């Protein structure tokens, strides 16, 4: 009869733990990932981030004619409806600070009072002067008639008396006609003075009326239905409540949402690849499942420096072909500008490319071992790169560096 063998429980537990530990260690080893070499069309692109804008819009202007009333400083916006507000024609949009215009209007009202008083004073003075001149003419005419009577009565007097009467008549006539000519000159002068004072008063009144009209235009209303979009200055800052109205006098805009564009910037390294009429794929961050098509319509010739950055960028405008009611100005876009498409080429992921001194290589299997294969690379895009020499359609390459990479054999390109 055979004896039974009893194995202690602790020994069994130790064996189980040992098997589990080494088995787990084997399964946690990193498995190298290989990808096949692709062949076909290779798309070269430049990826940028942009902002949606309406291609066409109606500008809402502030008060016009400020320069004509001597306002040369920028006017502050006291109130502006929130951006995105839907307005109808005639709805309130904004109000401007009237302080400076009201101050000038007050000064002008005081000036008008002075001019009005001056007008009345000039009118009274000229009336009084002309009346005195007319009275003088009447008196001189009476005196002349008296001298005529004296001449008639002296015809029976001695010649000397007749001569004296004639001289007195001549003096009287000359005084009368001189006074008459002076009266005509005084009248013309008085008329000119009145016209000057009246013109100055009328000019001040017209300026006052213009100020009142301009002051009324400090309350701004929508010229047509639409959605309010804030205007941006050359630095990209929005014109909002508390801002000043710029040189173009635009307070806000009503965009035409049926035709949208994406305004983007391309860095100076990639700008040489970008040109007008290139096809663009456009995504909108707010709607990741949506994709739109577009075309480059304008590329800036001169670069600019973005705020808080030393990099130079170039402005690029992209027309969006589709019209979609969900698109809104200021939404962020992801633009893929297709700069070139190359046919019938081999290409692999960028992660598979490695460099060592003067050669470029990939890791790939050769039989039952791994080796370094030297390659000649071509153009690349964001994710992949063209292989001109070194790989074929059936090859597979490693995406990561395998263990012991420094000791692996390197196979050079075939000459």
| Cα end-to-end span (Å), the chain | 79
Split at pLDDT 50, 70, 90, the class of 4 is very low
What pTM did the predictor assign? 0.62
What's the pLDDT tens digit per position in 208-233?
Answer: 999 999 899 999 999 999 999 998 87
Whole-number pLDDT of residue 8: 55
Q: Cα–Cα distance between 86 and 81 in angstroms, integer?
A: 10
Split at pLDDT 50, 70, 90, the class of 21 is very low
Whole-number pLDDT of residue 260: 96
Q: Does the pLDDT of residue 181 top 50, yes or no?
A: yes
Q: Does the pLDDT of residue 236 top 80, yes or no?
A: no
Q: Is 323 exposed, middle or buried (0-12, 13-18, 19+ CB in 10 A)?
A: exposed
What tokens does 52 get?
């949606």
Split at pLDDT 50, 70, 90, the class of 51 is very high
Split at pLDDT 50, 70, 90, the class of 72 is confident
Strongest mean pLDDT among 27-36, 150-159, 355-364: 355-364
> Which position has the higher pLDDT, 23 or 224?
224
Q: Which of 19, 82, 42, 49 is nearest to 335 (CA)?
A: 49
Backbone angles phi, psi at 385, to 5 degrees: -140, 145
Split at pLDDT 50, 70, 90, the class of 71 is confident
Q: Which of 384, 364, 382 is nearest to 374 (CA)?
A: 364
* Percentage of the chain modeled with pLDDT above 70: 93
Q: Does the pLDDT of residue 114 top 70, yes or no?
A: yes
Split at pLDDT 50, 70, 90, the class of 6 is very low
Whole-number pLDDT of residue 94: 95
Whole-number pLDDT of residue 30: 44
Q: What is the mean pLDDT of the segment spanning 193-210?
A: 91
Split at pLDDT 50, 70, 90, the class of 31 is low
SS3 204: helix
Structural domains present in the chain: 31-56+256-415 (2.40.30.170), 100-216 (1.10.287.620)
Check if the beta carbon of residue 260 is closer than 8 Å to that of residue 55: yes
Backbone angles phi, psi at 183, to 5 degrees: -60, -45
Q: Which of 313, 272, 317 is nearest to 294 (CA)?
A: 317
Q: What is the mean pLDDT of the segment spanning 26-36?
A: 65
Distances in whole angstroms, Cα of residue 292 to Cα of each of 49, 256, 280, 330, 365: 14, 18, 8, 16, 41
Split at pLDDT 50, 70, 90, the class of 13 is low
Q: Does the pLDDT of residue 19 top 50, yes or no?
A: no
Q: What is the mean pLDDT of the segment spanning 284-308?
A: 93
Q: Cα–Cα distance between 51 and 265 in angstroms, integer?
A: 10
Burial state string for 111-144 with b = 16 or more CB within 10 A and e = fewer than 16: eeeebeeebeebeeebeeebeebeebbeebeebb
> Which position has the higher pLDDT, 377 or 239?
377
Instruction: Give the count of alpha carbons within 13 A of 396, CB side only.
Output: 11
What's the pLDDT tens digit per position in 123-143?
Answer: 898 888 889 988 988 998 888
Check if the beta carbon of residue 361 is closer than 8 Å to that of residue 375: yes
Q: What's the mean per-residue pLDDT of the chain?
A: 88
Backbone angles phi, psi at 237, to 5 degrees: -80, 140
In the DSSP assignment, the letter for residue 286 is T
Q: What is the mean pLDDT of the segment spanning 2-15?
A: 49
Other Cβ atoms within 10 Å of 185 Cβ, number:
10
Check if the beta carbon of residue 39 is closer than 8 Å to that of residue 188: no
Q: What is the mean pLDDT of the segment spanning 154-164?
A: 86
DSSP string, 327-372: --TT-EEEEEEEEEEEEEEEEEEGGG-EEETTEEEEEEEETTEEEE
Backbone angles phi, psi at 289, to 5 degrees: -85, 0
Whole-number pLDDT of residue 279: 97
The kind and range of the H/E element at 78 are strand 77-80
Q: Is 363 exposed, middle or buried (0-12, 13-18, 19+ CB in 10 A)?
A: buried
What's the pLDDT tens digit per position in 300-314?
Answer: 999 998 777 778 999
Q: Does the pLDDT of residue 1 top 50, yes or no?
A: no
Check if the beta carbon of residue 85 is closer than 8 Å to that of residue 257: no
């Amino acid at each position: 009869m055979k004896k039974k063998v009893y194995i202690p429980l602790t020994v069994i537990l130790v064996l189980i733990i040992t098997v589990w530990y080494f088995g787990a260690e084997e399964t946690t080893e990193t498995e190298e990932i290989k990808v096949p070499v692709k062949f076909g069309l290779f798309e070269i692109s430049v990826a940028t981030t942009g902002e949606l804008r309406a291609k066409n819009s109606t500008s809402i202007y502030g008060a016009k004619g400020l320069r004509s009333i001597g306002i040369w400083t920028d006017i502050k916006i006291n109130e502006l409806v929130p951006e995105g507000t839907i307005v109808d024609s005639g709805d309130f949009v904004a109000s401007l600070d009237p302080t400076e215009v009201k101050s000038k209007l007050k000064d002008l009202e005081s000036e008008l009072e002075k001019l009005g008083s001056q007008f009345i004073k000039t009118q009274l003075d000229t009336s009084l002067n002309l009346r005195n001149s007319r009275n003088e003419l009447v008196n001189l005419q009476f005196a002349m008639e008296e001298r005529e009577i004296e001449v008639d009565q002296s015809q029976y007097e001695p010649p000397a008396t007749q001569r004296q009467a004639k001289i007195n008549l001549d003096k009287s006539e000359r005084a009368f006609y001189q006074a008459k000519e002076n009266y005509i000159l005084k009248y013309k002068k008085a008329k000119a003075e009145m016209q000057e004072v009246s013109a100055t008063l009328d000019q001040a009144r017209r300026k006052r009326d213009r100020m009142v009209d301009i002051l009324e235009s400090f309350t701004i209303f929508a010229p047509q239905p639409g959605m309010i979009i804030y205007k941006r200055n050359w630095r990209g800052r929005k014109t909002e409540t508390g801002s000043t109205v710029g040189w173009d006098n635009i307070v806000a805009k009503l965009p035409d949402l049926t035709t949208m564009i994406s305004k983007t910037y391309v860095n100076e390294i990639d700008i040489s690849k970008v040109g007008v009429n290139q096809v663009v794929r456009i995504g909108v961050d707010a709607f990741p499942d949506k994709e739109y098509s577009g075309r480059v319509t304008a590329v800036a010739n001169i670069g600019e420096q973005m705020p808080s950055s030393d990099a130079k960028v170039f402005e690029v405008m992209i027309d969006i072909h589709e019209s979609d009611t969900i698109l809104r100005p200021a939404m962020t876009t992801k633009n893929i500008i297709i700069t070139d498409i190359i046919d019938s080429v081999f290409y692999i992921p960028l992660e598979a490319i490695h460099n060592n001194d003067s050669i470029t290589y990939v890791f790939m299997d050769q039989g039952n071992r791994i080796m370094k294969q030297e390659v000649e690379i071509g153009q690349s895009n964001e994710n992949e790169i063209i292989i001109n020499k070194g790989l074929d359609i059936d090859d597979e390459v490693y995406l990561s560096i395998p263990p012991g990479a420094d000791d692996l054999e390197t196979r050079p390109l075939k000459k």
